[in-house]
Amino acid sequence: MAAGVSFGDCYLLSRSSSPIPTNRHQPISFLFKPKRFPTTKLDATSLSSSSSQQGFGFSIERTTGKDRNAQMSAVRQLTGSLMAAEGLRFAIVVARFNEIITKPLLEGALDTFKKYSVKEEDIDVVWVPGSFEIGVVAEKLGKSRKYQAVLCIGAVIRGDTSHYDAVANSAASGVLSAGLNSGVPCIFGVLTCDDMEQAINRAGGKAGNKGAEAALTAIEMASLFEHHLKF
């Protein structure tokens, strides 16, 4: 057996019988002693319960669904309710342009408010010339502090020029700015469609009534602000 010198977990061996090579050109080889680390076998039982398994210098945490539910139950979660609309006041800003579309959208919104116990005297409808003018009026209504939400209804239909893009973008940014600047939820219920057929389908046609859907959003947001975010 070849002689060698031990360096911790490895041996320095020479190919001669001399413990240390005398010829500096004589080849030297290393024999390493692998160190075994403690391991823990993970089975289906250990994975299904909360545990901490020690492995190669790190730990594996397992958490059960029950533990996760307990963590979630300790977190306060706030949400608006469609069943808490009574006593809330709403304003609806409606664009007169493309009235063949905006009027059915308004009717769908009013039907939804009535269905969820919003009284007629708690709803004010404000007409504006077009969708471009919705934002400034919505902001004014929001800042009046008379309403818990402002619903914005309009219809922008693509034509032969780029006018559609300017009006659609301005309407969207206007409604967003109205909500941010007034601190009152301003709901975007403006249709932006490629043609009249798409608009009709979304104003009570086969795609439903987007005015009714926007009214549901208005109720939920008004309830959230009134019952949870009123500081």
> What pLDDT, in 10s, does the model give residues 94-130?
999 999 999 999 999 999 999 999 999 999 999 999 9
Q: Is the pLDDT of residue 182 over 50?
A: yes
SS3 (DSSP) at 88? coil
* DSSP, res 166: H
The torsion of the CA quartet 8, 10, 13, 17, rounded to 10 degrees, works out to 60
CA–CA dist 119, 116 (Å, integer): 9
| More confident: 79 or 93 | 93
- The pair of three-digit structure tokens given for residue 103, joined into one six-digit string: 């009027």
Q: Is the pLDDT of residue 69 over 70?
A: yes
pLDDT digits over 196-208, tens only? Answer: 999 999 999 999 9
- The pair of three-digit structure tokens given for residue 156, joined into one six-digit string: 């922008």
* pLDDT band per the 50, 70, 90 thresholds, residue 57: low
Q: Is the pLDDT of residue 142 over 60?
A: yes
Mean pLDDT of 162-176: 96
CA–CA dist 181, 142 (Å, integer): 9
Strands 10-14 and 4-7, sheet pairing: antiparallel
Strands (E), 83-209: 90-95, 123-128, 149-157, 186-193, 203-205, 208-209
Of the chain, the end-to-end C-alpha distance in Å amounts to 85
List b or e across 155-171, with b for residues whose CB sees 16 or more CB atoms inside 10 angstroms: bbbbeeeeebeebbebb
Amino acid code (one letter) for 43:
D
* pLDDT for position 167: 96
The torsion of the CA quartet 202, 203, 209, 212, rounded to 10 degrees, works out to 130
* pLDDT band per the 50, 70, 90 thresholds, residue 41: low
| More confident: 97 or 44 | 97
- The pair of three-digit structure tokens given for residue 202, joined into one six-digit string: 């979304």
Q: Considering only 43-47, 123-127, 161-165, which range has the smallest mean pLDDT? A: 43-47
Q: Is the pLDDT of residue 22 over 70?
A: no
Structure-token match 């939820």, residue found:
185
SS3 (DSSP) at 182? helix
Q: Which residues are catalytic?
A: 163
| More confident: 40 or 159 | 159
Mean pLDDT for all residues in the chain: 82
